[in-house]
Amino acid sequence: MNKLLRHIFAVASVTLATQAFAQVTFYEQDNYRGQSFSTQRQVRDFSRFGFNDRASSARVTGGRWEVCEDSHFNGRCVVLRQGRYGSLADMGLNNRVSSVRMVSSNTRVDDDRYAPMPIAQAPDFRRRNNERVYQARVTSVRAVVGPPQQRCWIEQEQVPAEQRNSNVPGAVVGALLGGVLGHQVGGGSGKDLATVGGAVAGAALGNQVGRNNAPLPPQTRDVQRCREVPSQAAPQFWDVTYNFRGIDHHVQLTAPPGKSVTVNARGEPRE
- The CA distance from 271 to 259, in Å, is 15
Torsion of CA 55, 57, 63, 66, to 10 degrees: 50
Q: Report which of 241, 258, 259 is spatially closest to residue 250, judged by C-alpha positions.
A: 241
Kindly report whether the global pTM for this prediction surpasses the value 0.95. Answer: no
pLDDT at 104: 87
61 in Cβ contact with 32 (< 8 Å): no
235 in Cβ contact with 144 (< 8 Å): yes
Q: How far is CA 5 from CA 14, 17, 76, 105, in A?
A: 14, 18, 40, 21
112 in Cβ contact with 193 (< 8 Å): no
Domain boundaries, the chain: 2-124, 152-227
64 in Cβ contact with 102 (< 8 Å): yes
CATH code for the domain defined by 2-124 = 2.60.20.10
pLDDT at 11: 39
* pLDDT per residue rounded down to tens, the chain (271 residues): 455 444 444 434 434 434 445 789 999 988 888 888 989 899 999 999 999 999 999 988 888 999 999 999 999 999 998 888 888 987 889 999 999 999 987 888 888 888 887 655 556 677 888 889 999 999 998 887 655 666 677 877 887 766 665 544 544 444 444 444 444 544 544 444 444 444 444 545 455 544 555 566 778 787 887 777 665 666 767 878 999 999 988 887 777 888 999 999 988 888 7
Q: Report which of 25, 34, 250, 19 is spatially closest to residue 118, judged by C-alpha positions.
A: 25
Alpha helix (H) residue ranges in 147-261 = 168-185, 189-213
pLDDT at 120: 54
